[in-house]
Chain A
Amino acid sequence: MSLPEIPEKAGQPGRRWVNVLLGGGLAASVVSFLYPAIRYIIPPAVAESTSRSVVAAKADELKRNTGKIFKFGSKPGLLVRTSDGEYRALSAVCTHLNCTVQYRDDIHQIWCACHNGLYDLDGRNVSGPPPRPLEVFEVHVQGEDVVVTRKA
């Protein structure tokens, strides 16, 4: 399958231009493929966090009878250290209209500031508008870290 015939002009300069075009085109295209590949290989600044478990706090960070909001995947979680020193971890997304809940150290319950919803430390919705309990996570202390894991 030969290409259409076009009368050849004076030889040498024409041949050089074709080589330049070809070589240049090939080189440029190779660069346009290699550049993304090289940028890709360099790891990004943001380290990936697995969605299954996260270090919510350091072991001595939380005082008794206090709570802390931490990031779990793309949603907020609530870590509570009870007066007995135990840890509880739950989803901090209120089941009423998705506001972020908080721990109230005066009533020892979890409270939603939007419409006065209340949950107990097991996540059960005890009063106010929330229709369902909060999702409960598992908490373990591993050395220095308080690790929160989604239940299997």
Chain B
Amino acid sequence: MKTAAATLLVMMCVLGSARADSRKDSCVNCHSALEDARLLKPAQLFDGDIHHQAGLTCADCHGGNPNDDSMDAMSPAKGFRGVPKKSAVPDFCARCHSNATYMHPFNTKMRIDQLSEYLTSVHGKRLKQGDSKVAVCTDCHGVHNILAVSDTRAPVYPSNVAGTCGHCHADAAYMKEYKIPTDQVAHYQKSVHAEMLAGGDTSAPTCTTCHGNHGATPPGVKSVASVCGTCHVFFAQLFEKSPHQAAFAKMGLPGCVQCHSNHEIVRPSDSWVGTGPNSICSTCHTAGDAGLRSAQGIAHNLGRLDLAIAQADTVLDTAERAGMEVSSAKLELASANEALIKARVNVHTFLDTEVQKVTDPGLETAKKADQAGVAALQELNFRRKGLGVALITILVAIAGLYLKIRQIESKEQA
């Protein structure tokens, strides 16, 4: 019955959405005139709410009679539900949002499994156990001024998500009893993912990308690689076949996170590989073991190629600035760079031989580019020598002319 009435209401709204504002809503009319901020605020906020724009009124969630101007409008007899308790909020929202028939006319693509997902989450489980500090729908989506996810002002818009989660998770005092870290947001802000997001790439990962949104749960140790591997496909594939996979699994280490961290994921550097001061390999491997030897080999190969490219680049730059045409050599060098990129991917096989397979052809290309640059400089030298020869012949000719003039004119004067 209620469903039918609501559907009818919706149809009227959809057909005459322009008239939504003119439909009688005694709740808003009354509450807007109140002085108590707590009662005034919802009426003020509701104007921008997505539910309001879809044609819903206060009564559609809270019950009651919007046509009644008296206080009677809020009588339980008229179906008034009042303000739901925090623990009842998920069910309150799910009344509509988990109802496929109800939601379909509003948005055919909208999911209706948020509640069932939520119940699998840490938040949902703890809520059921009576913890009222955990997040419920309204904590993340807001209440009375709920915006679409695609609205940039929404607390759940990708670039706002970290702030929304951090509202609790970065509050050390609030989170004290849970004994989990509260520095995730701070770490995340330093990451390359946060940088991508700030740069406008909304496909960049934020908290919910890896943890899930409604079913928010930190990925277990075994599933870290799958989570990262959703985007970083090659690395996950290579890692899976590498000796680290079995070793990490045995030791209960979380795959990618072990070296790359979970929240503060920064741009990796070649210096992480090998035995240098920044080396991550050295944190587990000790001198003399096979792993460290492999790491040294990998670092050596990467370093060699990097150096060769830099060298060729310098030579070509010098030649270019001296006026020689070396654009095609520079383009060839770009493919050596490509080899370096691929080699860095192959680091995740953790086998020196695999990395060398890629760096060796890159070295060949870099060497060729270097040779082209040297040849250009040699040609420049040749030109200058040639010029010198030509200038000498010209000077001899000028000297000859000068002497001839003197000879002729001294003869004339004699």
Contact = CB atoms under 8 A, between A and B. Distances in A.
A18 B407 contact: yes
Interface residues of B, number: 34
Interface in B392-409: 393-407, 409
A37 B348 CA distance: 58
Given A18-B403, A28-B396, A29-B396, A99 B341 contact: yes
B327 A74 contact: yes
A116 B170 CA distance: 35
A24 B393 CA distance: 9
A141 interface: no
Interface string A98-133: 111000000000000111100000000000100000
Interface in A1-27: 2-3, 5-6, 8, 14-15, 18-19, 21-26
Contacts of A15: 407
Contact of A29 (B331, B390, B409): B390
B234 A115 contact: yes
A77 B400 CA distance: 59
A19 to B, nearest CB: 8
A2 B414 contact: no
Contact of B389 (A2, A32, A97): A32
A8 B414 contact: yes
Given A26-B397, A98-B338, A74 B390 contact: no
A38 to B, nearest CB: 14
B400 A24 contact: yes
Contacts of B331: 74-75
B328 A25 contact: no
A75 B393 CA distance: 44
A75 B403 CA distance: 58
Interface string B324-359: 000110010011011001100100000000000000
A59 interface: no
A97 B335 contact: no
B409 A3 contact: yes
Nearest to A7: B410
Contacts of B342: 99, 113-114
Contacts of B401: 22, 25
A25 B234 contact: no
B18 interface: no
Contacts of A5: 410, 413
B335 A3 contact: no
Interface of chain B, helix or strand or loop or mixed? helix
A19 B341 CA distance: 68
A23 B398 CA distance: 11
Interface residues of A, number: 32
Contact of B393 (A2, A18, A25, A74): A25
B384 to A, nearest CB: 14
B199 to A, nearest CB: 12
Nearest to A33: B390
Contacts of A74: 327-328, 331
A18 B234 contact: no
Which of B327, B390, B393 has the largest number of chain A CB atoms within 10 A?
A: B393
A115 B398 CA distance: 66
Contact of A100 (B327, B335, B398, B400): B335
A14 B399 CA distance: 14
Nearest to B397: A25
B233 interface: yes
Contacts of A2: 409
Nearest to A116: B233
Contacts of A3: 402, 405-406, 409
Given A74-B328, A75-B331, A116 B234 contact: yes
A18 B389 CA distance: 21
Given A8-B410, A74-B327, A74-B328, A31 B400 contact: no
B393 A29 contact: yes
Given A29-B396, A31-B393, 9 more contacts: A5-B410, A22-B401, A22-B403, A29-B390, A29-B393, A97-B341, A98-B337, A115-B234, A128-B233
28 contacts: A5-B410, A5-B413, A8-B410, A8-B414, A14-B407, A15-B407, A18-B400, A19-B404, A22-B401, A23-B400, A24-B400, A25-B400, A25-B401, A28-B397, A32-B389, A32-B390, A32-B393, A32-B394, A33-B390, A36-B386, A74-B327, A75-B331, A99-B338, A99-B342, A100-B335, A100-B338, A115-B234, A116-B234
Interface of B: 233-234, 327-328, 331, 334-335, 337-338, 341-342, 345, 386, 389-390, 393-407, 409-410, 413-414
